Amino acid sequence: MPDQSNLAHHKQYDVVVVGAGLSGLQTAVKIHAAGFSVVVLEAMDRVGGKTLSVQSSSQGEGINDLGAAWINDSSQSEIYKLFLKAGLKPEKQLAQGNTLRQVEDGSYISVPFGQIFADEEEAEAFGTVFGALQKTTDASNLEDPISGPDAKRLDSLTFSEYCHELFDSPLTPIIANYLARALLGVEGDEVSALFLINYFKSGTGINNLISDGPDGGQYLRANKGTQTISKYLASQLDPESVHLNNVIKSISQSSTGVEVVTAANHTFKAKHVVVSIPSALYPTISFSPELPPSKTILAEGTAIGAYGKIIYVWSTPWWRDAGLSGIFEAPLSGYVSFTKETSVPADNQWSITCFIAGDPARELSKYAQKVRRQKVWEQFTLAFEGSGVLKGTKVPEPIQVHEIAWKRNQYADGAPTSVMGPGF
């Protein structure tokens, strides 16, 4: 792909696409297929946006995803078509073995797979809140959220406030943060109740969003990583049409067309421009004329979640040998909210991914890498060793550790998406 020294910025295009993530690349592919000229400008040094796949370890050809990792073949049929076209094979998420669940004193106990509560009190709280949220989700309007039942009131409340209305208990903020962190990388008091209800609706319901089974949000992974889809889309374009390391400084529109100017003062001219970046990043670009007031308010009123991963890779799946799923849930304390096994047995790739989101992710990011990794490893070993399921044995040292904090990437500014607070 071209670098700054080989930019065809003198050419007039039909369309300039800003952003080489999945949506930007798919847009460019469709424009190209329709017979129009298109150029894609990407600030990062790679395509893929928040799809980022890396070699698991030096011991094999396995891949780990530092960004988006899961899909399914039912409610996500369009991306699944691209998944297959890119030559990927689906890896079903492990859905067996016991889960480790944090309890009130910070220790961990072993519970059956799929159980997200630790005792009867938590079971009542989770069941009541989840049931009420699903009822509200079922009644909501997916296409026009603000026209749904009680929508304006829901939009005036934070998700935490709404959960308190549903079930007033000391456990309620724990449940609200558990969901908001896992799904959006924010705290329950940072997101509008209506926004998260609409998010549930878009994912075909709260239970499907958090499920590892068929139709679930975590049902399938890509054996060679989801960035393969992004690279496949880029390969469908002309070789000279994707330009990396191009930070956009300004976009100007006039009666004669559009001019897109990069930070290096390269100008790309086109009839149209498609901006395919999160709305929260719009303020990083100078628009002329200015964006409509409603769009400006949207951009300034949304924020991207704090989300990160630390992935541990081993040469053998020691947790499976202990009858474990590789999952621990830590909604009460610690930096890691939860873990998932992310192995690909056919590639002899054995790994567990730690998910760090919301306030814990922001707090952890204050430390140097060595300290960050030490703190996460302490929590990880506490869960697996302290629960007693390993019967006194130690968690083996990993052969490789991968880490990403999406807030540290200035061109992503977080993950997974832009989030609206109350009133938007």
Residue list, annotated binding site for FAD: 23, 42-43
- Coil, strand or helix at 122: helix
- The widest CA-to-CA distance across the chain, in whole angstroms, is 73
Q: Which residue(s) pair with 313 in the sheet?
A: 351, 400
Name beta bridge partners: 344: 349
Residue numbers belonging to the annotated binding site: 23, 42-43, 355
- The tokens of 170 are what? 């000391």
Q: From CA 29, how far away is CA 24, in angstroms rounded?
A: 9
- Which neighbouring-strand residues pair with 356? 308
Rounded distance between C-alpha atoms, residue 211 and residue 67, angstroms: 19
Q: Tell me the CA distances in angstroms from 84 to 5, 135, 149, 294, 360, one per residue in order.
A: 35, 35, 39, 39, 36
C-beta of residue 285 within 8 angstroms of C-beta of residue 250? yes
Q: Are 422 and 155 spatial neighbours (Cβ–Cβ below 8 Å)?
A: yes
The distance in angstroms from the start CA to the end CA of the chain is 39
Tokens coding 104? 């009130």
Residue set of the binding site for substrate: 355
Q: Left, alpha or beta for 254 (phi > 0: left; psi -120 to 50: alpha)?
A: beta
**Coil/strand/helix, residue 379:** helix
Tell me if the bond preceding 398 is cis, omega within 30° of 0. Answer: no
Ramachandran class of 19: left when φ > 0, alpha when ψ lies in -120 to 50, beta otherwise? left
